[in-house]
Structure 1
């Protein structure tokens, strides 16, 4: 009986020692469903995973202002162009004719003004004097002829009366021309001529603008993405015909769910994995977050624009991207596994093992990710905690 008692006592002691070892063992199973871990210090990042798509930072749809027939398409899709290059030309014969007419009008008005500003030459004076003398003689002769029949009843309707009126008119014209030649052009007449010239120059400017409306020029240096026009076909004004983009500075347009948009801000770092290059990890930064949602979608989706370094990868517009946005980072934080924290009522609690017993401690938490959570208060580094 004594031997049997001693064996039972020995077995009980072994079982007790094993239980204590399991209870105090760090990171080992404490039961069928219980594990333990230590409270540690480290860095933690909170992230948001979203989708996006590569697009040029600047992309423009180009059109002519006038309708007409496409005369010439001077570029092809994929071609690099420089700002100012001519890309497309409509039939511009009407505009060219209008320019020629406007040029002639400008030259005529300029010539009139120049002549009016010049001092009269000797030949101009002699000619004006001769015309005035001739008009004076003709008027006097007509007056004498009329005087001979002035007493007749039909004198007012006679040929002599008509000739006298014509002679007087010719004299007044010759006299005015003589006075203008001797005195020079009046300031009022010069003002009128200057206004006429300005009007002609404005008409020429407008004609040149109309010609430019038949053309599409590259507003930026970039690459032609698409052309929706063929030579010989008729197109409408302001209808997009050519797509151009600056591919030297690609960006990513990210789609942000309304649940996450409050956490997204300019300056946050982004890890980028393009669908076309899944093994290549790129880095970027959020540079713009528009305040409103994308109204073209059926659901509420916000956008964020990400600048990134393509690292010589042949990135093309339209490529899909998987994005991990770091919304917060804390260094040297007190960390525990997420499985260690559970909610009890309004509190968050952690089961702590100490002095061979287990207790629940209320904690205040901070930043979290998929695997860990920051502890702001309630625990200390090195404590052993139980995981659910």
Structure 2
């Protein structure tokens, strides 16, 4: 009895819709140039936009249903396909040639950073590696001395103290001759100038004396020029000496010059001692150099070993005991299976909706009927153009991955880009769009159809959120689905324009 009543209502609704459609065609043909004004005509046109496709079709081709406006939660997602990868992941290779030694390593073994997984036989590796093992002991000893021992610093401190004492003593002896109390820097500059000109005079004398022994004629032009240059140098030297005597108030004789030279020697020794002390006081450069030497030797030794670079799981072994390998041969793959990532590509149309921190549901072809949680951890800011399609790289981290998930699995990540709770919802196929307006067809208890303009919020494939208050929970609305690829058609002046297919997933009542 209940089925007969439902069928009767559907037949009545179909009949009413077809009659309205026929009247609409007649109305349109007689008012082709009519400007649409007012809500009444708009309501008729909106109804016609939906019911016209029904004309000329039997009940098998067009299914017209009703649905209830409901309250519920709605989630909008972007589904993207990618491949599971462990991060970090590394394929480890030998850095030298040799023969693989026996090992106990097995696939699925858990390893720690620094663990030696496989080695080459000592008898098969080069002598340079064996020499590095010997040199490493000495290099490590020198490094330990620089880091821990202070004997060199203490020795440098004693040398510096002695140098400072000697400098002060020689400075006092030199300053004793400064009877005029001339500023010390002025005296030092004058003495340095005198010593430089004294050296110039010495060289000029050497040139003249050498020429005088070589030529017999005292009127030789070259000899005369050398003599003139010697006299000029003598004049400049005497002038500089008189200036030093003037500044000191005392003759710059042999005793004075000796004290000055010893003072300058003490100053040079002090500067050298100071540099040595500072070197050992802050020996970070020496320590860094020693550490680099130790590391270089260790790298040479490690080239004959496979060492785990991080904590992880052995996922593949590519060499066998006794196998002769060359440098660069891949031996072991290690993956951090507790940190699995899905790298996907998102189109430029959707990338603005994707953000770091968004939740995702992960499904895998290899593990059907199971879902895993994920979270977006990276969104690239630069797209790549592949065959005319611009896509952006997005990384989704799998939260608490199950042991059954393996790197290389194909995965689908459903990224949640919007979500509402306790919202007013209608089937998305109940919505019609006309000139930017969203409309649903409300059906009352007498099977009367009323177009209702609505404001929509979050829209997913099956359901759409209604923000306006002209619909309420429990209202009945029309939902259309077709079994063909026909387009809904609304005629307009000079031709027609399509409203688009209304097919899609049916809502579950």
Tell me the TM-score range normalised by the shorter chain. 0.5 to 0.7
SS in 2 for 1:270: strand
2:360 counterpart of 1:270: yes
Change (3 A) 1:79 1:332: closer
For 2:461 and 2:132, the matched residues in 1 are separated by 72
Task: Give deviations 1:277-296, integer Å, cap 9, x for gaps.
Answer: 21233333333333345789
Higher mean Cα deviation, 316-325 or 336-345?
316-325
Aligned pair 1:72/2:101, yes or no?
A: yes
1:1-388 to 2 correspondences below 5 Å: 22=9, 34-64=64-94, 66-72=95-101, 74=103, 75-90=105-120, 91-100=125-134, 206-229=296-319, 231-237=322-328, 240-293=330-383, 300-301=390-391, 302-310=393-401, 312=402, 314-353=404-443, 357-377=448-468, 379-382=470-473, 383-388=475-480
What SS does structure 2 have at the residue aligned with 1:256? strand
Change (3 A) 1:202 1:44: closer
CA contact (8 A) 1:352 1:358 kept: yes
Superposition RMSD in Å: 4.4
SS in 1 for 2:101: strand
Cα displacement string for residues 285-335 of structure 1 (whole angstroms, at most 9, x for unaligned residues): 33333334578999644333232334x552222222333332211112121
Moved more, 351-360 or 77-86: 351-360
CA contact (8 A) 1:284 1:308 kept: yes
Higher share of residues assigned helix: 2
- Indicate the SS of the match to 1:211: helix
Unaligned runs of 5+ in 1: 1-17, 118-185
C-alpha separation between the residues in 2 aligned to 1:261 and 1:323? 14
Q: 2:290 and 2:360 mapped to 1: Cα distance?
A: 60
Structure 2 unaligned blocks of 5 or more: 18-58, 146-150, 156-268, 281-285, 481-509
Per-residue Cα deviation, 1:76-121 (whole angstroms, up to 9, x for no partner): 44332221111243525322225536868999xx9xx99xx9xxxx
- Is the partner of 1:318 in helix, strand or coil? coil
- Is contact 1:256–1:304 with CA below 8 Å preserved after alignment? no
In structure 2, C-alpha distance between the alignment counterparts of 1:202 and 1:335, rounded to whole Å: 67
Using structure 1 for the length normalisation, give the TM-score: 0.59
Normalising to structure 2: TM-score of the pair? 0.46
* 1:245 CA drift (Å): 0.8
1:107-165 alpha-carbon deviations (Å, 9 max, x no partner)? 9xx9xx99xx9xxxxxxxxxxxxxxxxxxxxxxxxxxxxxxxxxxxxxxxxxxxxxxxx
Check 1:346–1:216 CA distance in 2 against 1; reply closer, same or farther (3 A cut). same
Using the alignment, how far apart are the partners of 2:298 and 2:438 within structure 1? 76
Task: Return the alpha-carbon distance in structure 1 between the equivalents of residues 428 and 449 of structure 2.
Answer: 19
Contact 1:22 1:29 in 2 (8 A): no
More strand by share: 1
Count of residues in correspondence between the two structures: 288
Residue 487 of structure 2 is matched in structure 1 by none
Change (3 A) 1:342 1:85: same
